[in-house]
Amino acid sequence: MSHPTSSQFSVTVPTLNMLSRLDLCVQILVDGYISQSFSPQQAERYFPCVLKNNTFSPFLGLPAPGSEGAFFLVNSVPRHISLHVPGQPHWILDRSIVNRGTVVPQTLWTPHTVTDKKHHVEEAELQLPIFFQCADGQLGLTLEAAASGRCHGLVGAQKFAHLGLKSTTHIRIAVSGIFWFRS
């Protein structure tokens, strides 16, 4: 999986009729996939950890023709993220929910000790979210398709995901709270 390039969205220049920055921050904490997956409160804690900045100012990007959902973008990301795609002017922090399928609620991992928090959050080089977008522009992947390995229709399916300096990572996805899928 790869992060979307600037050709996959168009930047909307703010006008007086558009959402204010405060309204947009509230919108990302209500209408974004991160807040819908984890909760608005957990999203509010997550974004500053990923961006290594307690204040962030998202702005809205409209999808390119054929893509679903608006983008919540930021201009600045930590250096370890920007090195993956040099010269990219905007970075996707989240996507707006589209009215198709179900967002499976998840529990955001929380460190249990001060040492874990320092090692796995504060000093860690966290990566931006990866969104599963099909070649036809639709967002998401059915559980059946994922479990059976039918992922060839995803944009960037044959590319490696940016995992920082790691070659592998662990991803845990709760499915209806019944079991964990680990890859």
Give the strand pairing for 71-74 and 91-95: antiparallel
* pTM attached to this predicted model: 0.74
What's the Rg (C-alpha) of the chain?
A: 16
Domain assignment of residue 1, yes or no: no
Separation of alpha carbons 35 and 105, rounded Å: 9
Given a cut of 70, whether residue 10 has pLDDT beyond it is no
Residue 24 CB neighbours (<10 A): 17
Mean pLDDT of the region 158-177 = 71
Structural domain span for residue 148 = 6-182
19 vs 149, which has greater pLDDT?
A: 149
18 vs 53, which has greater pLDDT?
A: 53
Count up the domains in the chain and report the number.
1
Mean pLDDT value across the chain: 78
pLDDT given for residue 113 in this prediction: 95
Q: Over the stretch 98-140, which tens digit does the pLDDT of each residue have?
A: 776 778 788 888 889 999 999 988 998 888 888 888 888 888 8
Q: Is 34 exposed, middle or buried (0-12, 13-18, 19+ CB in 10 A)?
A: buried
Provide the percentage of residues in the chain whose pLDDT is more than 90. Answer: 12
pLDDT given for residue 117 in this prediction: 92
Domain assignment of residue 159, yes or no: yes
Chain centre to alpha carbon of residue 183: 18
Separation of alpha carbons 116 and 136, rounded Å: 41
Separation of alpha carbons 92 and 2, rounded Å: 12
Mean pLDDT of the region 31-58 = 88
pLDDT given for residue 20 in this prediction: 66
